[in-house]
Amino acid sequence: MQGEAALPDLRPPREALSDGVVALRLWRDEDVPAIVDACRDEEMALWLDRLPSPYRVEDARTWLESVAANWRDGTLASFAVADVAGDGAVGSISMGVTSSDDRVAEIGYWLAREARGRGVMTRALRLISAWAFDEVGIERLYLRADPDNRASCAVAERAGYVFEGVRRSEHFNARRGCRVDHAVYSLLPADVNGV
């Protein structure tokens, strides 16, 4: 997932976004070990096939530099997903601007193995979606997931995203050596506010 357009007024929130259980905060240099550990997970690499392999400390540092640059140019808002109790990064969630004129953005996320199955990413997706609508002025959010990645699709569904369909043969997955489909889910302000 990569932002293709820019919102010049896209700025990090003053405080972490939180629901009392999960927090979305800015990435920090001390998160590098957590990023490296998560990105070495074979299951995550199966779905995020563009991750370098083996994933190294230098890869995490380069990624953090790109995160900071994306915030500066208004193309991508990337947050560390953290447990409020411990504040350590257990995942990532980002919103990439795909059309600044139409106020459309794409969500992407990953979660470390030890944090899966507890509803962490569903909470994170709800938090970033509310922020995108209420603070950034986004009018349509969407995400794409390999239909075989049932965990990722379930996160979208539990967060209230609406299944729109499957984009066939949309991506060449280098690790799997074949083209894969993407299930597309979207969320509109009316879906959340009932308007």
CATH code, domain with 78: 3.40.630.30
Residue 131 lies in a domain: yes
Entry pTM:
0.93
Low-confidence residues in the chain, pLDDT < 70: 1-4, 194-195
Residue 12 lies in a domain: no
Q: Residue 118 has which token pair?
A: 């507890």
Residue 178 lies in a domain: no
Please report the pLDDT score of residue 195 as a whole number.
46
pLDDT digits (tens, 9 = 90+) for 109-127: 999 999 999 999 999 999 9
Whole domain around residue 26: which residue ranges?
17-139
Buried b / exposed e across 22-57, counting CB within 10 Å, b at 16+?
Answer: bbbbebeeebbebbbebbebeebbebbbebeeebee
Residue 32 lies in a domain: yes
Please report the pLDDT score of residue 59 as a whole number.
96
Please count the residues of the chain: 195
Residue 157 lies in a domain: no
Residue 6 lies in a domain: no
Please report the pLDDT score of residue 155 as a whole number.
98
